[in-house]
Amino acid sequence: MRFDIVTLFPEIFSGFVGESLLRKAIDKRRLEVVTHDLRNWSKDKHQKVDDRPYGGGPGMVIKVEPVVECIEEIRRLHAEPGELILLTPQGERLTQPLVEQLAEFPRLILLCGRYEGFDQRVVDLLQPRELSIGDYVLNGGEVAAMVVIDTVMRLIPGVLGDEQSARSDSFSQENRGLEAAQYTRPRSYRGCDVPEVLLSGDHAEIDAWRQSQSYHKTLSRRADLVGSEGDSPRRPETNEGEKREPVN
């Protein structure tokens, strides 16, 4: 899968792209990440890509020509035209099912906004899919683009190493609930012990305990995830949860 990132701040991505999991996936040729500096498409000698808004008001607006011409040019860099995504707080909210859809595309082009936004004609002409990562305001789309790459890449076969672990993550199609608590050695630390059931070696019992934990944790923290019939997490068959220690 290929990601093209269009941004005014390509340096923001260098540490992220060098990070080990992403770096390894790139080295294994499972992923390709290419940044493009929007200023390279400026027609201005000062490489300006923004201007004052018509009608007045605070802030600056990113101009239409550099964006449209940049997207046209980078589309031609690769056989796949790519799914164009504009990162904006006004977009559709990114959720795990949407991440799963995005992971099916061979190429995503991520357009990062800044300042007060883009000239509306960017959207009218290019008709991107508009995405937001949540109900809060970022200074720009760069952090949101990293969230898209981070969430999508883990679903690409061969990136995580263990595909099953991504499929059963919290919020995935397979598991809409929160995950059960995990423990590793030591068995006891400062008076806090690993739950006995995890040491029992009884896998059916362990599974039931984890399902019950997941269900009760989801209900207490994120009741909004326990929706209508058919939605996970389902209530476990047993009443294990009631007699166990409370979930944290």
Q: Is 97 a catalytic residue?
A: no
Residue number, 87 or 108, with CB nearest to ligand 6GU: 87
Rounded to whole angstroms, the Cα distance separating 83 from 79 reads 12
∠87-63-141 over CA atoms, to 5°?
Answer: 20
**For this structure, is 89 an active site residue?**
yes
CB of 159 to ligand 6GU, least distance (A): 23
Bond into 233 cis (ω within 30): yes
Task: Select which of 65, 169, 179, 205 is catalytic.
Answer: 169
Concerning whether 169 is annotated as a catalytic residue, the answer is yes
Least distance from C-beta 140 to ligand 6GU, angstroms?
5
248, 240, 185: which is closest to 218 by C-alpha?
Answer: 248
Catalytic residue among 154, 167, 234, 244: 154
Residue (54 or 136) nearer to ligand 6GU, CB: 136
Least separation, in Å, of the C-beta of 25 and ligand 6GU? 23
Q: What are the b/e assignments for 42-77, b being 16+ CB within 10 Å?
A: beeeeeebbeeeeeeeeebbbbbebbbebbeebeee
- How far is 174 from 232, CA to CA, in rounded Å? 8
In the complex with ligand 6GU, the residue whose CB is nearer, 98 or 181, is: 98
Catalytic residue among 51, 104, 116, 193: 116
Residue 74 CB, shortest distance to ligand 6GU, in Å, is: 19
Q: Pick the catalytic residue from 65, 75, 89, 129.
A: 89
The DSSP symbol for 105 reads -
In the bound state with ligand 6GU, the residue whose beta carbon lies nearer, of 146 and 180, is 146
Tell me whether residue 195 is one of the annotated catalytic residues: no
From residue 232, give the alpha-carbon distance in Å to each of 45, 80, 179, 215.
56, 36, 12, 9
The footprint of ligand 6GU (CB under 6 A) covers 87-89, 113, 131-134, 136-138, 140-141, 144
Indicate the SS3 state at residue 28.
coil
Task: Give me the active site residues, please.
Answer: 89, 116, 154, 169
